[in-house]
Amino acid sequence: MKDARRIIVKLGTALITRENEDGLAIGRLASTVEQVSQLQNEGRQMLLVTSGAVAFGRQVLRQEAMMGMTMRKSLSPKDILNNSRLAIQRQACAAYGQKGLMSFYERMFQQYNIGVAQVLVTKSDFYNADSRKNLQATLDELLNLNIIPILNTNDAVAPLTDTDAEVTAAKDGIVINDNDSLAARLAVLISADLLLIMSDVNGLYTGPPESEGSRLLHTFCPKQDSQMIAFGARSKVGTGGMESKVRIFIIKKTDDLNDFVLG
């Protein structure tokens, strides 16, 4: 790991947002940005895959919706909050939240004299040969300019599930349903030396961490260990979960991903 030069860091929604879903976890993000900046300034090429736009946008839009309510309705804020969750679509939250999330990253990285660039992608950008080539060239150029690309799926327009045609087009079997699979595809596309998937749990367990008897695995080999893992539910804010993190290593493109070391 110490010799890795081109590194992708993936940050999930559960890591970026507070436990009560009320805004960003500023402390955790600031610490992560500081460490990524340190690696960048050491001469490594860093790339971020970040979630959080939907959760951030939903939190801000909820507040604005509540402020727009009449005084009579504001007397029952719990009902208003529940109603606003249903009324505000995911796509609108993504569109509104992406600019705020990117603005936050830009201000944070400026403290370390590092420039950032936003790159929003959809599944078709990987399945279309020309788009994939352009994406690779753009990321390579940004990295060579000492700029950190910050990527996210374009949730404002992207469908939530893969179509049959998209699955068929994915010759290696990896589809893009969340930012875990997006980070995996990017790692292959730009020939990254290391992919770090940050999580709010200690690592991969044989079962849900809170379940009795679950134990932490220090290494994971798909050929040997796949049947011994029982996955729990996803977090209430994220779309991936531990199952998606494991799947990107089970369905691998090269033999270099035969083993996944958890740290």
In tens, the pLDDT along 72-82 reads 455 555 555 55
For residues 122 and 182, give the distance between their C-alpha atoms in angstroms, rounded to a whole number: 9
For residues 205 and 198, give the distance between their C-alpha atoms in angstroms, rounded to a whole number: 15
| Cβ atoms of residues 186 and 140 within 8 Å | no
Q: Each residue of 143-191: pLDDT tens digit?
A: 999 999 999 988 888 766 555 455 455 555 556 767 888 898 899 899 9
Record the pTM: 0.74
Question: Which region holds residue 220: left if phi is over 0, alpha if psi is between -120 and 50, else beta?
Answer: beta
Please give the biggest Cα pair distance in the chain: 63
pLDDT for the residue numbered 68: 65
Q: Does pLDDT of 240 surpass 60? A: no
For residues 204 and 77, give the distance between their C-alpha atoms in angstroms, rounded to a whole number: 38
Task: Report the mean per-residue pLDDT for the chain.
Answer: 76
| Cβ atoms of residues 184 and 248 within 8 Å | yes
pLDDT for the residue numbered 214: 75
* Other residues' Cβ atoms within 10 Å of the Cβ of residue 79: 10
Q: By C-alpha distance, which of 203, 222, 224 is closest to 214?
A: 203
Q: Which CATH class is domain 6-199?
A: alpha beta
227 vs 56, more confident? 56
Which residue has tokens 């369905």? 251
Structure tokens at 160: 């939530």
Structure tokens at 98: 């992406």
* Other residues' Cβ atoms within 10 Å of the Cβ of residue 29: 20
| Cβ atoms of residues 128 and 79 within 8 Å | no
For residue 14, what is the enclosing H or E element? Answer: helix 13-16
Structure tokens at 171: 């010759």
Mean pLDDT of 17-40: 86
Identify the band that residue 261 occupies on the pLDDT scale cut at 50, 70 and 90: very low
Which residue has tokens 């990017």? 186
- In percent, how much of the chain has pLDDT > 70? 64
Task: State the Cα angle at 68 between 103 and 87, rounded to 5°.
Answer: 75
59 vs 50, more confident? 50
Distance of CA 145 to the CA centre of its chain: 24
pLDDT for the residue numbered 86: 44
Which residues share a beta bridge with 204? 217
Q: Each residue of 68-121: pLDDT tens digit?
A: 665 445 555 555 555 544 456 888 888 888 888 999 999 999 999 999 999 999
For residues 39 and 3, give the distance between their C-alpha atoms in angstroms, rounded to a whole number: 12
Q: Where are the domains of the chain?
A: 6-199
